[in-house]
Amino acid sequence: MTSSPVAETAPAVRTQELTRHYPMGEGLIRAVDGVSLTVEPGEFVALLGQSGSGKSTLLNLIAGLDRPTSGSVVVHGSDLAQMSSEELARYRRNQAGMVFQAFHLISSMTIMENVELPMRFAEVDRAERAQRSRESLARVGLGNRLQHKPSQLSGGEQQRVSLARALANRPSILLADEPTGNLDTRTGEDILNLIRDLSLSLGMTVVMVTHERALAERFAQRFIFLGDGRLIGEEVRT
């Protein structure tokens, strides 16, 4: 997944006629149905839509967690649809960081260990791993809670840990699935502020799924609207 000179100038994400269909009984659910979009490097894009509009499925396709039925997802010049499962794992490990609505921290581990986990898969040395975890947690304001378990933290704090974990392997793209969905408005704003600051300071591309348009309008640079798996509109924040 090394970036070629051509890839440097290429969009961070480009999907072309991307579809993801699920068989359901005798019918077919068209979760994503011919979506073509482009996200530029360093851009903060919000995917908006009603529940069931296909925005999370689209995000999973960009994250390499799911495979398209047809079409292509090209991230920094590499087509995820053509990758083996090992290559996809390597992509998720090194290039894409994910944040979930339910945080998905491992409850038996301390927050430090949670942040270290992706680095274990990336075979980062123990000493470097500890240093990077501390830095990551300090960046999200939890530098003094390293040995706490997730259950000892508030929802907002847990989402910060989740963010620190997503950034652990220094990805070029951050994918956030309803990151404020389980948080109150104030905490949600704090998290999005943090994501925006990190995006700006690290030059990281952000693709965020949300159904809270008002919140998205305050942070994202561009809004892509989905309905019934199709791209139904696009707006740029003025």
Partner 1 sequence: MKGYDLLDLALRNLGQSKLRNGLTTIGISVGVASLVAMLSLGVGLQQMATRRLAGSGLFDTVFVTSRQDFRGFDREDDAKTPHPEQSPVLDEAARVKITRLRYVTEVEPEVRVMGEVVAGGETHFGFVTGLPMSARQNEAFDNLKGKFFSSNDADETILLMDFAKELDPKNPAGLIGQDITLRYGERQALPQEFGRPQLAGSQTNNSSDSGRDDFAFSVVRKMQKLRVVGLIDSEPYGGMRTVSRGRIFLAVGTTERLNMAQFSDMRSSLRGGGGKSYTTLTVRVKDPGKVGEVQEAINKMDFRTFSVLDATKSLRRFFTVLDLFLGIFGSLALAVATLAIINTLVMAVLERRREIGVMKAIGASDQDVKRLFFTEAGAMGLLGGVTGVLLGFAIGKGINLGTEIYMHHHQMPAEAVWAMPPWLVGAAIAFSIIVSLLAGLYPASRAARLDPVQTLKYE
Q: Catalog residues that contact partner 1 under the rule CB under 8 A.
A: 60, 63, 65-66, 85-86, 89-90, 92-94, 98, 100, 102, 104-106, 108-109, 117-118, 120-123, 165-166, 169
Q: Which whole-number Å values give the CA distances from 172 to 26, 31, 110, 216, in the listed order?
A: 40, 26, 26, 21
Please, are residues 178 and 101 in contact by the beta-carbon 8 Å criterion? Answer: yes
Least distance from partner 1 to the Cβ atom of residue 198, Å: 17
Q: Which is nearer to partner 1, 85 or 238 (CB)?
A: 85
Q: Which is nearer to partner 1, 162 or 219 (CB)?
A: 162
Q: In whole angstroms, how large is the CA radius of gyration of the chain?
A: 17
Q: Which is nearer to partner 1, 75 or 98 (CB)?
A: 98
Q: Alpha-carbon distance 78 to 12, whole Å? A: 10
Calculate the CA 18 to chain-centre distance: 18
Question: On the CB side of 147, how many CA atoms lie within 13 Å of its CA?
Answer: 0
Amino acid at site 74: V
Q: Which is nearer to partner 1, 152 or 193 (CB)?
A: 152
Least distance from partner 1 to the Cβ atom of residue 59, Å: 10
Least distance from partner 1 to the Cβ atom of residue 235, Å: 28
Least distance from partner 1 to the Cβ atom of residue 104, Å: 5
